[in-house]
Amino acid sequence: MGKKFQVAYQVPFYESDINHQIKVPHLLSFALQVSGLQSESLGNTDDWLLDNFNLVWVITDYELDIQRLPRYAENIVVETEAIAYNKLFCYRKFYIYGEDGQQIIEIFSTFVLMDYDTRKVVTVKDEIVAPYGSEKIKKVIRGPKYKPLKEAEESLFHVRYLDLDMNGHVNNSKYLEWMYEAMDIDFLKTHVPKKVHLKYLKEIHYGKDIITRIKQDGLISQHEIKTDQGLHAQAQIEWRERNEA
């Protein structure tokens, strides 16, 4: 296990949904910010990584286990640690604690290092990850296998300027927003996610038309994000009724 780092946070109005709970895409964005704050505290900033190695961090996978979602105005704590790495992948966990101090969410994430110019994944250098104190392993931790959606409902969106992040491509939380937007609002009012698997395959850039595809079977929904360049993201979400959360 690696060095732990945590940040206290109060869920604001603009990050809360119709059910007065935090929007999951916003939660992922803040968790990512916490990992960035840890890197800054260790002198391992994004600028240092780019200036010295011409590399950027890229997320490939998320797995969320959700006991309950934080509520509007709730004071929570987000804790993170870089737990392990191998030749190509770096693994990081996030733990979300509610106002009562109990853990309510665990997030397992997978990162790679990408060359900024070629956009290709590169081998992880020990000196880059050494400050985090994470374990070097040989094992590759794999997520679930996603089945292609042959039949699915489709919705069309257009990539806008504010969808982009500092790297010039669509912010990773936006993919999950598009997946939510394809779902029935009455279902979203009465259900919350219990487990989320999310995989990123390719970047999406400004001006693209994207198709978000969904197939739902009871409390399991499967999702795809596609453009004319192919498949960009996949997800599987297990839901439960709000009164069970």
Under DSSP, is residue 67 helix (H, G, I), strand (E, B) or coil?
Answer: coil
d(CA 217, CA 54): 44
Q: Would you write out the chain's pLDDT as a tens digit for each of its 245 residues?
A: 789 999 999 999 999 999 999 999 999 999 999 999 999 999 999 999 999 999 999 999 999 999 999 999 999 999 999 999 999 999 999 999 999 999 999 999 999 999 999 999 999 999 999 999 999 999 999 889 998 898 899 999 999 999 998 878 899 899 999 999 999 999 999 999 999 999 999 999 999 999 999 999 999 999 999 999 999 999 999 999 987 55
Domains (range + CATH), the chain: 4-136 (3.10.129.10), 153-244 (3.10.129.10)
d(CA 136, CA 124): 10
In the prediction, which pLDDT does 148 show? 87
Cα–Cα distance list, 200 to 40, 44, 197, 223 (Å): 25, 24, 10, 12
User: What type of residue is 1?
Assistant: M
Query: Which tokens hold the place of 8?
Result: 């206290």
Radius of gyration for the alpha carbons in the chain, expressed in angstroms and rounded? 18
Burial degree of 121 (CB within 10 A; 0-12, 13-18, 19+): middle
In the prediction, which pLDDT does 244 show? 57
Write down the residue that tokens 């070097």 correspond to. 136
Q: Characterize 88-101 residue by residue with b for buried, 16 or more Cβ atoms within 10 angstroms of its Cβ, and e for exposed.
A: ebbbbbbbbbbeee
Burial degree of 161 (CB within 10 A; 0-12, 13-18, 19+): exposed
Q: At what angle do helices 24-41 and 172-181 cross, to 10 degrees?
A: 170
Under DSSP, is residue 222 helix (H, G, I), strand (E, B) or coil?
Answer: strand
Cα–Cα distance list, 174 to 51, 106, 140, 155 (Å): 27, 20, 27, 15
In the prediction, which pLDDT does 35 show? 97
Give the closest residue to 72 by CA, choosing from 17, 7, 8, 6: 17
Query: Which tokens hold the place of 206?
Result: 């400004």
The H-or-E segment that residue 187 falls in is helix 185-190
Residues in the chain: 245
Q: Which residues pair with 158 in a beta bridge?
A: 209
Sign of the torsion angle spanned by Cα atoms 52, 53, 58, 61: negative
Give the closest residue to 69 by CA, choosing from 239, 193, 186: 193
